[in-house]
Amino acid sequence: MTDVGESPPVRRLSEWDAAELRPLAGEYGTPLYVLDLERVRQNYRRLEAAFPDADVLYAVKANALGDVLSTLHEAGAGLECASAGEVQRALAAGAPGSEIHYTAVNPPAGDLDWIVDAWADHPDLTVTAGSTDTIDRLADRGYDGRLCLRVNPGIGAGHHEKVETGAAAKFGVPAERAVDVLVDAADRGFDVVGIHAHVGSGVSSKQRDAHREFVARMGDLARDVAGAVGGLKFVDIGGGFGVPYREDETPLDLESVADATRDALGELDATVTIEPGRYVVADAGVLLTTVNTVKDARETTVAGVDAGLTTLLRPAMYDAYHPIRNLTADVSERGSSRERTPQTVAGPICESGDVFCTARELPRSERGDLLAIGNAGAYGYEMATQYNTRPRPASVVLDDGDVRPARRRETIADVLRPEREALPSASADRKTDHDRATDTDNEYDR
């Protein structure tokens, strides 16, 4: 197990062992997510070392794979959950209620019902509410346990405007109203334990000043709230620590960020809590995909692959950059690197946005080549969909030399099953030839 001092601050796609990845595609098929659990541990230990006095809660939404959650729980991390389903995953991974925060954003009724029922068995569970309406809905269900208030500090940052949460009206109670809201909650019998805010996702070194201002506002607010309600257990400043997706980007200076955070918060009689997600898992994962079509277009060569925006949504949704490496060209029988040409790597979805890169210089692709897409450990499978009736991919994990399947590949029958099960039983006698075909194994069954 690598010591944090020996662990590089970022794992580049070029550093993955092609000889280890290629057989995985042969055994499990593509598209395939591959996640290295030892890298997950290294990233967590780096955070723990930079913030030795803070509680580190992993943001489950970044990658909710059970192997990831159990690995981080065993390493000492708590788990921050954005839905009742994620809380179920956290409990299944072995985390006690005392190490789980449920951060509700406009929670559906079913979520709140489940959470309040779970609270009966896990009274140390913390619920974070982002509105007075949510607090009322909790009270209506008989909840008066540990309550944290999500506040809106009025300042945001992140890698894209869609993930800058700190100033978005959707998130949290305006900071200037927080004291009154929490005093009222305490008067109603809630156990007020903390305040929470999240500036955004993928914060880079260039946005350090914005992050520092955000943290300073949280420190000032925490002192005001503590004075009004008689103290706080913690101040949660969220996560958002960015990772370098581009090959020429430098990694975040985590120690410097930690020092600036402590300085900006000032004196607090409360524990600082951070909620990293992307930082822990992004560079621990790659997506393997196979080239199935090569086409020379007017200004570029199009390499069509079997992964698409249904597999990895970030490029289409955020115009996000992911490094791409041709693992087959690395060992081409020609004995030398193939000519590099401008290529557009595109998926099979009937959308013009279904591309992983446009006119990027890559070794010229050939049908059957295996490509690796880097930094796919965060918000990859979690955002995968079944659009175009496409089954979601499989996942495998690497763990200290061991390789094991972590999630089987869906089949078309899996995609159709909820629809079938909603039909009256009498319709079973009226199956079409297509229905019968998709009841059995098909090309997606591996």
What positions carry a catalytic annotation? 350
Count of residues for the chain? 446
Radius of gyration of the chain (CA): 24
Q: Is 141 annotated as a binding residue?
A: no
Structure tokens at 115: 């959470």
On whether 387 is known to bind a ligand per the annotation, the reply is no
Residue 318 labeled ligand binder: yes
Using CA atoms, how far residue 232 sits from 119, 227, 368, in Å, is 21, 9, 58
Pick the closest to residue 273 from 228, 314, 232 (CA basis).
232
List b or e across 272-304, with b for residues whose CB sees 16 or more CB atoms inside 10 angstroms.
Answer: bbbbbbbbbbbbbbbbbbbbeebeeeeebbbbb
276 marked as part of a ligand binding site: yes
149 has which bridge partners? 129, 195
Q: Is 351 annotated as a binding residue?
A: yes
Other beta carbons within 10 angstroms of residue 400's beta carbon come to 9
Residue pointed to by tokens 């959950």? 81
Strands 402-407 and 394-399, bridge-based pairing: antiparallel
Asked if 317 and 162 count as a contact pair (C-beta separation under 8 A), the reply is yes
What string of DSSP letters covers 317-373? HH-----EEETTGGG-TTSSPPPEEEEEEE-SSSSTT-EEEEEEEEEPP-TT-EEEE
Instruction: Give the residue ranges of the annotated binding site for substrate.
Output: 278, 314, 318, 351, 379
Instruction: Give the residue ranges of the annotated binding site.
Output: 240, 275-278, 314, 318, 351, 379
